């Protein structure tokens, strides 16, 4: 197979970090990525060169292209953390060579050769050979969200209480966690912004779905917290709604922030609760979790693939956008609720 010397890609506009964080909404593509041509890279060592079939757009991708993701951008390099594709070249390492020709799910990590491109570079250790039963749409989103789901649900299990709280209850990530929770008898209490999001989430295994824009939100919140006594709060949102949830939670509550959908100020609602009720506020970052242990990471990857293959997990698709249309269409597709948006190079 002859590889081209150049390829089409969406290239990072910014360098390093943003000085003025503007939240997790991708209001437009132009400030952050630009379509361009760039040389196809040559994999070395344990690297794989992948012909990308489908690239995922995760909240972490949006944060990254905006310079808000805790890792610096390299201007002019392709964006995109995750995807599915075929290995078309490898480095010399035997572990890399083993992947030659295979269909894989991959995470590019900090290679700066991202998946929003015709070809991407990933370390063999961050790739999963796929069985045929797994759809491209599931495979392209098989690493970032599933590992985050398994890692954060692990925190819930360690804490011991069956009930736990999540904002952004209709996100793909929340749905994965709801699936895990249902299988093990846990009780997710999730918030959404529209009533029509509730039935599907209750069906999937949520114990309670609270619309945080509803007039009776505060009342329902109080009743649910008193009945369920959740300890862990997995928060993608921050801002006033998250503060209100944390305040309503019982003694010993842990507010674990992993995203920031709301750019409003995030207030500690009653610092006395930290002193006298043993409440805590912390963060979760998948990259840090992955650094802390290869074994549990690999077990999680295996678990994720099985769940997608046998249908316990399923990725809801909002849109598959051709690379050439991505600049024009992606922001509007991302703004739609309940599903995932992919780029097809």
Which residues 284-303 are close enough to bind a copy of itself by CB under 8 A? 284-285, 288
Only one of the segments 134-142, 226-234, 272-280, 326-334 lies at the binding site for a copy of itself (rule: CB under 8 A); that segment is: 272-280
Task: Give CA–CA dist 305/195, Å, rounded.
Answer: 32
Name the residue nearer to a copy of itself (CB basis): 153 or 255: 255
The sign one gets for the Cα dihedral 206, 207, 209, 210 is negative
Task: Give CA–CA dist 259/238, Å, rounded.
Answer: 7
The residue within the footprint of a copy of itself, chosen from 16, 199, 271, 337 (CB under 8 A), is 271
275 binds a copy of itself (CB under 8 A): yes
The residue within the footprint of a copy of itself, chosen from 274, 309, 317, 320 (CB under 8 A), is 274
Distances (CA, A) of 97 to 67, 84, 93, 179, 256: 34, 18, 6, 35, 40
x/- letters, 50..79, toward a copy of itself (CB under 8 A): ------------------xxx---------
Q: Are strands 208-211 and 127-129 parallel, antiparallel or unpaired?
A: unpaired
Task: Give CA–CA dist 267/252, Å, rounded.
Answer: 18
Q: Are strands 6-12 and 119-123 parallel, antiparallel or unpaired?
A: unpaired
Task: Give CA–CA dist 76/16, Å, rounded.
Answer: 12
Which residues 21-40 are close enough to bind a copy of itself by CB under 8 A? 21
16 binds a copy of itself (CB under 8 A): no
Q: Which of 188, 149, 146 is nearest to 169 (CA)?
A: 188
Task: Give CA–CA dist 69/56, Å, rounded.
Answer: 16
The residue within the footprint of a copy of itself, chosen from 131, 277, 328, 332 (CB under 8 A), is 277
Total number of residues that touch a copy of itself (CB under 8 A)? 30
Helix (H, G, I), strand (E, B) or coil at 5: coil
Only one of the segments 47-55, 85-93, 172-180, 282-290 lies at the binding site for a copy of itself (rule: CB under 8 A); that segment is: 282-290
Name the residue nearer to a copy of itself (CB basis): 22 or 226: 22
Give contact residues for a copy of itself (rule: CB under 8 A): 21, 68-70, 238, 257-260, 265-268, 270-285, 288
């Amino acid at each position: 197979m002859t590889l081209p010397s150049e390829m089409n890609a969406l290239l990072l506009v910014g360098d390093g970090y943003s000085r003025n964080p503007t939240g997790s909404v991708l209001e437009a593509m132009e400030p952050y990525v630009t379509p361009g041509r760039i040389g196809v890279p040559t994999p070395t060592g344990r690297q794989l060169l992948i012909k990308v079939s489908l690239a995922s757009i995760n909240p972490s991708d949006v944060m990254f292209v905006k310079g808000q993701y805790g890792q610096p951008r390299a201007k002019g390099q392709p964006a995109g953390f995750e995807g599915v594709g075929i290995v078309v070249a490898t480095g010399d390492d035997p572990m890399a060579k083993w992947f030659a020709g295979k269909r894989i799910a991959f995470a590019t990590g900090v290679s700066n050769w991202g998946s929003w491109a015709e070809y991407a570079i990933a370390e063999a250790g961050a790739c999963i050979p796929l069985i045929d039963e797994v759809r491209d749409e599931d495979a392209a989103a098989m690493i970032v969200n599933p590992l985050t789901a398994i890692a954060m649900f692990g925190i819930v299990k360690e804490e011991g209480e069956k009930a736990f709280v999540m904002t952004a209850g209709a996100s793909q990530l929340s749905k994965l966690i709801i699936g895990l929770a249902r299988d093990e008898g846990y009780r997710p209490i999730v918030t959404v912004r529209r009533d029509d999001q509730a039935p599907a989430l209750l069906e999937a295994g949520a114990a309670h779905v609270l619309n945080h824009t509803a007039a009776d939100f505060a009342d329902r919140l109080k009743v649910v917290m008193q009945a369920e006594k959740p300890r862990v709060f997995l928060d993608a949102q921050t801002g006033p709604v998250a503060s209100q949830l944390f305040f309503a939670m019982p003694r010993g509550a842990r507010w674990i922030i992993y995203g920031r959908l709301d750019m409003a100020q995030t207030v500690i609602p009653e610092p006395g609760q930290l002193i006298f009720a043993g409440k805590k506020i912390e963060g979760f970052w998948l990259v840090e979790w992955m650094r802390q242990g290869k074994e549990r990471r690999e077990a999680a990857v295996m678990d994720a693939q099985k769940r997608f293959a046998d249908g316990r997990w399923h990725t809801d698709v909002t849109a598959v956008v051709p690379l050439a249309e991505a600049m024009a269409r992606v922001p509007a597709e991302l703004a739609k609720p309940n599903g995932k948006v992919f780029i097809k190079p």
